[in-house]
Amino acid sequence: MNIRNIAIIAHVDHGKTTLVDQLLRTAGTFRNNEEVSDRVLDSNDIERERGITILAKTTSINYNGCRINILDTPGHADFGGEVERIMNMVDGCLLLVDAFEGTMPQTRFVLKKALEAHIKPIVCINKVDRANINIADTLDQVLTLFIELGAPDEFLDFKVVYTSALKGTSSTNPDPSTQTPGMDAVLQTIIDEIPAPKVEEDKPLQLQISLLDYNDFVGRIGIGTIKRGTIAVNDIVAASRLDGSTTTFRIMKLFGFEGLKRLEIEKASAGEIVAVAGLPDINVGETICPTNYVEPLPLIRLDEPTLQMTFGTNTSPFSGHDGKLLTARKIEERLFRETQKDVALKVKRIPDSESWIVSGRGELHLSILIENMRREGFELQVSKPEVIIKEIDGVKCEPYEDLEIDIPNEYVGDVMTTMGARGAELINMDAKETITKLTYVIASRGLLGYMTNFMTLTKGYGILSHTYKEYRPITTASLGERQIGVLVATENGMATPYAIEHVEERGTMFIEPGTEVYEGMIIGENRYDIDLAVNVVLKKNLTNVRSSTKDNTVVLKTPRKMSLEACLDYINSDELVEITPNTYRMRKKILNTTERKKYDAHKRAEAKE
């Protein structure tokens, strides 16, 4: 069989999934009368809403007598673990670069992973239909990136195709006027340039698991490329485990990929990408071999989590009002089920408590898990994200990140001031006519809680991208905490216009009249750097002069709406986010106002000492 295995890699939002749509259309995967939504591979609701790819997707198309297996990878660094493992499954990659934005932090990240795996790249300059593009400058940026990452000489002479995934056109000519309908230029370049898998069908089976999926009927499903030999349903095979041991099992189910479908197949041979069911605890990096010839492939290195949060059962007065799934047993089952298919996620129960430490690759990684659980009907509470500290050669170290910021020139001063306060080291500053690009190296702690502030500073026009760099010794202990105080409710009940009118002059409100609140719930932001306990359920005393309808004339400011990520960004270490199917609320860990004031006074006294 004539096969090409290729991954599509790029910075987030450079058009990978949209391009795959067009490749499928050009190859005739869809019937003429078939209704197809945009970004067909983004099957998860959150993926479709946010326009991001969270989990790698496999699809297969037939073009000019060749089967092309395409893996659409996530572009966000939080899901970089998927990108690393996919490089073990393919023989080439299509590096997608936005013709307007050029190379970005995740472009560097994904290309670095491809070059480390010695995967042959093709460069695809996408969005050539955009205004004010400079294709020559974008190509220079790409070549510079290849050189900086130490690409071998044979990869520096990369082939380039030019596309508009949105319009469904492509060309091998940089002139946008030469674009023609369809993605034939891309597909033909893949066939011509990407090598076919090196197959040895007559040798003993070798299949290394690179990705995981989970199914309630068959349990864990391992996905990988068959490096040599053949595999069939009901074969008795051996899995070489991560710890060096060997487990024998039977192939219960074997799946292949065709278009968007995962199909049950009876047999597959070297070069094909397949999914295997039969071993309930199969893991990434393990090799499936014949029982009489166990020869494992080198283990796949997985980057460790860099961020952790504490998940716990909901202890607020509103516990059980919204959700049906709120017991420790249900939450634990759900968290451990997630680890069955997401190897970048670690879950550890805190002894003698109804809490778990959940570790992942970033705030987005963990917030996606929380959002999925919320939609499934769970209630829980989570703490502020914290970086994972490692001890290296006896020195405590923390993760650092490469950070790139693109902002309109008028906001440069404000952003540089906040970056300096967060301990960021300026590496490069590139000022153009209207936009300035700032490049920093910053401790991951320094980015915690920054996104909301950044969007406010730049009035939503700024673009911020970051990716993990390395662990370095800890230099300061004060990064990552919010420097402004909050308004905290002192009473349980319904917020009234009368009470909010008197409180809003103290700062910015997060709630509106009619919102149910409880003691210890965060209902706004103070103007100053101390927390303020306020009563927002107070009602006006009614007399024969003051009527209850007078409240209708109160004009209040619009409250600040907080998304889940904004809440996780915002809270301090003495606060939690309560998550239910219908809402999320920020609250203090200690709800009682008197007890909290005593605790805060004790903490301040300790800090002075």
Per-residue pLDDT tens for 86-122?
888 888 999 989 888 888 767 877 888 888 888 889 9
Same fold, 3-193 and 400-473: no
8 Å CB contact between 274 and 207: yes
Q: SS3 for 249?
A: strand
In this prediction, residue 518 carries a pLDDT of: 93
**Can you tell me the mean pLDDT for 38-61?**
51
CA distance readout (Å), 490 to 234, 405, 585: 65, 40, 15
In this prediction, residue 54 carries a pLDDT of: 41
pLDDT at 37 over 50: no
- Give the span between the Cα atoms of 451 and 447, in whole angstroms: 7
Mean pLDDT lowest for which of 315-319, 370-374, 406-410, 543-547? 543-547
pLDDT at 51 over 50: no
Asked: is 3-193 a CATH 3.40.50.11540 domain? The reply is no
8 Å CB contact between 44 and 54: yes
Q: Among 434, 416, 367, which Cα is nearest to 579's?
A: 367
What are the tokens at 341? Answer: 């298919």
Mean pLDDT lowest for which of 148-157, 204-213, 548-557? 548-557
Q: What pTM was computed for the model? A: 0.75
In this prediction, residue 546 carries a pLDDT of: 53
Q: SS3 for 268?
A: strand
- Give the span between the Cα atoms of 238 and 276, in whole angstroms: 13
- Terminal Cα distance for the chain, rounded: 74
- Give the span between the Cα atoms of 86 and 73, in whole angstroms: 8
- Give the span between the Cα atoms of 440 and 429, in whole angstroms: 9
- Give the span between the Cα atoms of 64 and 47, in whole angstroms: 32
565-594 pLDDT, tens per residue? 788 888 888 899 999 998 889 999 999 999
In 229-336, the DSSP E strands lie at 230-232, 236-240, 246-250, 253-258, 261-264, 267-269, 273-277, 287-290, 307-312
Pairwise pLDDT comparison (79 vs 176), residue with the higher score: 176
- Give the span between the Cα atoms of 485 and 480, in whole angstroms: 14
Burial (0-12, 13-18, 19+ Cβ within 10 Å), 11: buried
Q: Architecture of domain 206-290 in CATH?
A: Beta Barrel (2.40)
pLDDT at 81 over 70: no
Q: What's 400-473's CATH class?
A: alpha beta
Extents of the domains making up the chain: 3-193, 206-290, 400-473
In this prediction, residue 57 carries a pLDDT of: 61
CA distance readout (Å), 251 to 269, 341, 568: 14, 19, 43
